[in-house]
Structure 1
């Protein structure tokens, strides 16, 4: 693994450049031919001259590199980590150490957008018929809808064109995988009314077996469809409406690998570790209650339990391996999602455009999560007493954005001004069972049920002025107000009836930067930004208008500032086409939003709640690079890499009277990178195009807790490297048919992609397992 990781990182360092998005390059052209168009500054611009660290991928790139879900993006975008805290259907983006924790009321530090409308639920989604995907790194908020301290991921669905086109693609593979996706584009009225419809449906068996019921965890059952209509009623007016519906099913993988459990008396750097789970579910139960025979009574009532106890089960989990678990509850997942976007553009003349972007989404999910993997009910996402099973989330959002953008002064001045509005309502139901030690100790049932409303309003503007030829100065400012409220709903066990709470958070976001076109090939930039993400309320905490330090449910806004400098190159090296992009950055964050699971009654209790706390400060610095080169007409090599050094500069806080110390920063590997080579293979004339691509992705170790140095040891995940390969035969025999053989994780490497830490609450941690080797055959037709 180490050798593979070194190869990946070395290639990324030497060849670093944005060759991953050849959206407008034709087959056989050099890697620097054509321009890659991105919308990082809300206008179409060439990637090679945008002053920002961006990874962009076209739809063909996504297909060729096997990017079918959000979690696959990690292998193609340096510095992006897709966290799987509770498995394959509970995903969170992390960029440069900035993220949002599970069960947190915190808004995400990395916002995902579809057609410039923010997405409301971060779950695994289908990647089909997309125009491109763009990963923007660093604080956002000056131009985009929601403030973000880590970055943004932009998904853009393919728009209708004035041409009759169709595609059909099918895949079959191991784990009984079968997937079909298709697209039909029809110009209904020539260059005036154009319609595009696309769909994707997939079925796949899970790769983790639950030994208690022989259920497969990780089953995928997903159907999605999308219809897009573009109307151009007159010259200079374009209206595009997209409607998408997605239905998901299957089972969750969960954090199903029991990773570490603490024994009573264990300490770490002077911190006493929570041992309630290990104490209650083990032979020490007799001594804990001072009565002989209690553990035997428990085992008699629970024949599936592991007799040596939970602490020893860590060794048993290692023996049976990562793809087997003994989860005692369900793992079903159900989701429905409606999404609508409408974009209207009106050319006003004089280089100005009026743009209106409307968005609507309505999402529902219900998930039973295999959170800890051991055959003991330390915690379960169910409340049998109330007949409630699975965490439920219903989110409805409406957004509206109006922009005026254009240029003046013979193109020397570019401007954009806008107003953004969003109204979002989230209903959450968390049914839970704690410590089923019956008949010795009855389980504790509790349900959290609450509604959070967020009303966001923002005004913004940004100017870019060409001071002298090829040198531009950019300045942007945004003012955002977010009004957040929480209501306790009827299913809440203890908090229903509490008065509603409200809080307003408002702050500026800003950007100042210089960009310089050094030569036709070289481009450089330097900028500084500031942004924030609003505070809010912890739905499971006591409804008291105070932070957790004061025994309440409030948390404050997080603020950040950064400095980033970068260079980009698009040209030739020894007369061979090549690209390069690199960036260095340092970022400071205050009042970092991180979740913890303290006992509101203090040490020694058997209760726990999810609390978003404000850790005083952290600092993150590093560098990123990506690129490629074509040393011969038949060979392309390239890679990407990221180094991220994240640290809590002040990680000490107090929650409900108990001190906590944070560090190291979780879900942030120091090194990650990809190296690839693609060979165009000679075939007979008019036989089509055959190419072979090999790719290695590697990353160093990471933690799935933010407190491994104090109360949560045993949460460090080892680094790993994955090998992928794909053999393409396009336009077989000069026809419209193509075929491909693909394989991911070719060496069948066992690895971990995240985890669920309940160290403070239970003294029990579990890891999420990455997908084993998958392979298959792909057939496609394009008209």
Structure 2
């Protein structure tokens, strides 16, 4: 059905579109200036920001004329800084952070403290060629919504827009937008081939070919292929030898057809495939007397046979077939028609598909059970929890269709500029998706998981050696299980908008915008828990073979909701939300080089569904933000040209969506002896409407060229975030979960450093053209300490008061105070100082050949990029590890005009 809609819209678009507003790039804004050839040649690093053209308001404007705080990178800057992922872009951008909890393929952005938590709609929209990134709903795991592998090559620029942009952009977001603007085909025959090599066996090849088949028909083809070994070394001997690797292929075909002088059709087809071992976390702390910490401690003990290794990038995991496979393709068609000098029409239609297979250990555990010689019990390897695809299905398998129609106009005296439009986004599942996740299970391999032929090794240990667990487990109870989720999720979003700017005078303008959005989400899922058998017989109870014993609904209330559903476990969840958003802006330009503005915007982010938790928390409502901003932009020329931009902002959240951790309840029920029986669910997280918060801060960006050849740039952001009101959450008696991550009034928001500064400089040697252009560059980024999670702050482990009924502790056991204090400190990510260097030599000896060297994290900073907050429920903590020093060389050959 949607394929037919796409084809129909594609054909209709030719007859009802508007003059294409060419995406922004660093070029002269004067209309009479000739178009610069796009051959991949690097431009001078000394670029006047007043000459940069952006499309932040869906039309071409000078960067310094737009009353929005924007950071812009051209392709040269992206290449010099080795930006190939969301995390790389965030490192170089003040106010921008990346959440890499589930790996570089599934990263999401945060701007000014507006964070996208697991299971929520994006707080920062990512757009490629004016079209939002495809979604990939996956029943509890993130997929889609971002700029994936291979997105950062052959671009005109990347624009980071800060603050709510919901009036003009397709999907409502509260934090901002990241615009990736691809290079358009030009009227020149040209192209380039570039090869790169580097450490960790990095190999990369890029090629671009631009061919004008006729004066009115131009084609551009680009390919980017990159491979790199992972920097996390797996020491367990099980599965891949390295993780956090890179292996992608990206291709792009662009066609511009000028059907008449006033009618243009611009089509882009993109394809990306990434096939890696995935990203993983490593063990960083364990409490040896609390819960699973006794096994995790062995991974940190140099005297243990299960030691994960002494290197910062050493870790251990137990998944033999770890793999992260992502396939994304998309077709975008933009048709524009200039009906007159004052009226244009534009139609943007797209269709794409995202398929993701996520088979990942996530937490980096490779536990070993103790051998008991007296009964012939060997040591078994088992893991804490992993995410493995539902047999025969993918983790995400979605199609995304979007249709947007715009009308842009202005009065003949150019005092009033306006645009109106409508937006439709429809996301449909292509197949059932889901996961089958062993929790505290010993599984021989993927076939054993698929058939539920795993062992509950800890359940057996608790029965045969009760003193090992403080005597808290009954011989008939179980410790582990296999949790299975299968379902479908769909989204439907509609928006109508209008915005206009009126010149009260040549210096004073007022802008007003309004949008109304309707969002709908539906999820149907079946979630079950399978109890598996013990590995060996023992005289005190009946021998039980490996494999499933019985299966029940993970969430018992599902059967109450749907008594006639398959297995009694099916849940049908729906969420509808709608809201108006608006913008009021005043800007004053006393001279061409000075802009002062003030604006107020209402932002809205849709509510949604969390199918991976109990019904009381399965639906969450929309959040809203009122954003106030004052800013100024200045630029100057002369012998020391430069610019200075500053913005101050205040944001007030209501009904804010924040992530709450759900850990297995260690005492879901009690047996006949009064001992606790633990729940057998996987740890998870879900969004809740936690309350209210406020964010205020200052952003500064500036550049100056003290003398010819030298360009200095600085970007700084100060963020002050605070929860001002917090709801109290409680789970129903007998819930399989306990809550982790209690929020308190006064808490800062997660992943929001108070201070972040980026300083960069480029110097081009004064050499003749016969030698070429040699440029040295450096970028330094400091990021303050920031909150990563709220769960570990209240970690006490076994503090001597828990009592004998908790299976996590023996009666009277006391956690070492230093261990507890260290785990509590792991609620925060420590400050980082990253230095990147680059050297380029363009037009070597006057030839169309360029060479470049880059190095990132030159000082070998060792840091964690994410800490999830598991310890309170598990007794151990894992973390995502930031990239080590990377370096490489590239050689580019340019050809054509």
TM-score normalised by the chain length of structure 1: 0.86
Structure-1 residue corresponding to 2:582: 510
Taking the aligned partners of 2:25 and 2:861, their CA distance within structure 1 comes to 28
1:286-305 alignment, distance < 5 Å: none
Give the 3-state SS of the residue equivalent to 1:411 in structure 2.
Answer: coil
Assess, with a 3 A threshold, how the Cα gap between structure 1 residues 238 and 380 changes in structure 2: closer, same or farther.
same
* 2:469 match: none
Look up the SS of the partner of 2:868 in the other structure: strand
Q: Distance in 2 between matches of 1:333 and 1:67?
A: 21
Q: Corresponding residue for 1:635? A: 710
Cα distance, 1:109 vs. partner?
0.6
SS in 2 for 1:576: coil
Specify which of 51, 64, 67 is matched with residue 48 of structure 1: 64
Match of 2:417 among 414, 417, 430: 414
Q: 1:306 to 1:449 in 2, by over 3 A?
A: same
Within 5 Å, which residues of 2 pair with 1:208-607? 208-213=232-237, 215-254=241-280, 256-261=281-286, 276-278=291-293, 281-282=294-295, 307=298, 320-329=310-319, 330-376=321-367, 377=382, 379-382=384-387, 392-426=395-429, 428-436=433-441, 438=457, 439-440=460-461, 441=478, 443-488=480-525, 494=553, 497=566, 498-542=570-614, 544=615, 547-548=616-617, 553-572=618-637, 575-598=639-662, 605-606=678-679, 607=681
- Cα distance in 1, alignment partners of residues 54 and 718 from structure 2: 24
Partner residue, 2:93: 77
In the alignment, the residues of structure 2 paired with residue 167 and residue 632 of structure 1 have an alpha-carbon distance, to the nearest angstrom, of 32
Aligned residue for 1:115?
A: 129
Residue 10 (structure 1) aligns with: none
Structure 2 partner of 1:666: 750
* Higher RCO (CA-CA < 8 Å; seq separation 6+): 1
**Mean alpha-carbon deviation: is it higher for 423-432 or for 407-416?**
423-432
Shift of 1:237: 0.6
Q: Which runs of 5+ in 2 are unaligned?
A: 1-23, 29-35, 37-41, 135-143, 368-381, 442-455, 462-477, 530-551, 559-564, 669-677, 733-737, 796-822
Displacement of 1:754 in angstroms is 1.7
Structure 1 position 761, deviation (Å) = 4.6
Correspondence for 1:293: none
Q: Following TM superposition, by how much is the alpha carbon of 1:500 offset from its aligned partner in structure 2, in angstroms?
A: 2.5
CA distance in 2: counterparts of 1:352 and 1:165, whole angstroms: 34
1:120-135 correspondence to structure 2 within 5 Å: 120=134, 121=144, 122=146, 124-126=148-150, 127-135=152-160
For the pair 1:681 / 2:765, whether they are aligned, the reply is yes
1:228-282 residue CA offsets vs partner (Å, 9 max, x unmatched): 111111121111111111111111222x222344577xxxxxxxxxx5433xx45
Call closer, same or farther: CA 1:226–1:183 in 2, change over 3 Å: same
The CA deviation at 1:460 is 0.4
Max radius of gyration: which structure?
2
Instruction: Tell me whether 602-611 or 420-429 shows the greater mean CA deviation.
Output: 602-611
**Hey, what's the Cα distance between the residues in 1 that align with 2:299 and 2:194?**
51
Matches of 2:574 and 2:500, distance apart in 1: 35
Query: What is the distance in 2 between the residues matched to 1:763 and 1:388?
Result: 34
Does the 8 A contact of 2:86 with 2:104 survive in 1?
Answer: no
Which residue does the alignment assign to 2:167?
142
| Contact 1:737/1:780 (<8 A) preserved | yes
User: In structure 2, how many angstroms separate the alpha carbons of the residues matched to 1:707 and 1:388?
Assistant: 35
For 2:395, what is the secondary structure of its paired residue? strand
1:28 deviates by 5.2
Per-residue Cα deviation, 1:583-636 (whole angstroms, up to 9, x for no partner): 111111112212223258686543344322111111111111112101011322
| Aligned residue number for residue 179 of structure 1 | 204
Q: Distance in 2 between matches of 1:603 and 1:477?
A: 51
Number of equivalences: 714
- Structure 2 distance, partners of 1:312, 1:757, is 27
- Alpha-carbon distance in structure 1 between the residues aligned to 2:322 and 2:748: 31
Q: Distance in 2 between matches of 1:509 and 1:310?
A: 55
Contact 1:378 1:762 in 2 (8 A): no
Instruction: Name the SS of the counterpart of 1:372 in structure 2.
Output: coil
Q: Determine the C-alpha separation between the residues in 1 that align with 2:595 and 2:702.
A: 15
- Counterparts of 1:706 and 1:465, CA distance in 2: 47
The C-alpha deviation readout for 1:400-428, integer Å capped at 9, x for no partner, is 00000121151111101000000013564
For the structure 1 residues 262 and 23, does the alpha-carbon distance in structure 2 shift closer, same or farther, using more than 3 Å as the test?
farther
- Rounded Cα–Cα distance in structure 1 between residues aligned with 2:288 and 2:593: 61
Cα distance change, pair 779–469 in 1 and its aligned pair in 2 (3 A): same
- SS, match of residue 48 in structure 1: helix
Distance 2:262 2:612 in 1: 51
The residue number in structure 1 matching 2:542 is: none
1:87 to partner: Cα distance: 2.8
Query: CA 1:596–1:187 in 2, change beyond 3 Å: closer, same or farther?
Result: same
Tell me by how many angstroms 1:356 deviates: 0.5
Check whether the contact 1:86–1:756 (CA below 8 A) recurs between aligned residues.
no
Output one character per residue of 1:524-577: Cα deviation in whole Å (capped at 9) or x when no partner. 1110111111111111123x4xx42xxxx111111111101111111137x310
Residue 652 of structure 1 and its aligned partner are, at CA, apart by 3.5
2:788 match: 704
Distance 1:501 1:765, change over 3 A: same
> Structure 1 residues 652 and 226, CA, compared in 2 at 3 Å: closer, same or farther?
same
Aligned-residue offset at 1:380: 2.5
**In 2, distance between residues paired with 1:259 and 1:416?**
53
Write the deviation string for residues 487-506 of structure 1: whole angstroms up to 9, x where unpaired.
11588973674353323201
Partner of 1:295: none
Please give the alpha-carbon distance, in whole angstroms, between the structure 2 residues aligned to 1:341 and 1:570. Answer: 36
Asked whether the equivalents of residues 415 and 464 of structure 1 are also in contact (C-alpha less than 8 Å), the reply is: yes
| Cα distance change, pair 523–70 in 1 and its aligned pair in 2 (3 A) | same
Q: How does 1:134-213 map to 2 (within 5 A)?
A: 134-190=159-215, 192-213=216-237
Corresponding residue for 1:647? 722
Indicate the SS of the match to 1:757.
coil
- 1:31, 1:628 within 8 Å by CA — same for their partners in 2? no
Give 1:610's aligned residue.
Answer: 685
Q: Cα 1:387–1:459, aligned 2, differ >3 Å: closer, same or farther? A: closer
1:268 counterpart residue number: none
- Describe the superposition over 1:114-158 as per-residue Cα deviations: whole angstroms up to 9, x where unpaired: 111110213642111112111111112100000001111011111
1-structure distance, mates of 2:61, 2:703: 21
Larger mean Cα displacement after TM superposition, 115-124 or 742-751 = 115-124
**Separation (CA, whole Å) in 2 of partners of 1:261 and 1:396:** 42
**Cα displacement (A) at 1:111:** 1.0
In structure 2, distance between residues paired with 1:710 and 1:418? 50
In structure 2, C-alpha distance between the alignment counterparts of 1:679 and 1:467, rounded to whole Å = 43
TM-score (norm 2): 0.75
Segments of 5+ residues of structure 1 without an aligned counterpart are 1-19, 265-274, 283-304
1:723 aligns to 2:835 (yes or no): yes
Gap change, CA 1:766 and 1:599, over 3 Å in 2: closer
Which SS does the other structure have where 2:414 is aligned? coil
Find the aligned partners of 2:695 and 2:25 in 1 and give their Cα distance: 27
Query: Tell me, what secondary structure is at the counterpart of 1:63?
Result: helix
User: The residue matched to 1:374 in structure 2 has which SS?
Assistant: coil
**Aligned mates of 1:29, 1:316 — CA distance in 2:** 49
Q: In 2, distance between residues paired with 1:406 and 1:346?
A: 12
Distance 1:696 1:21 in 2: 24
Distance, in Å, in 2 between the alignment partners of 1:118 and 1:706 is: 31
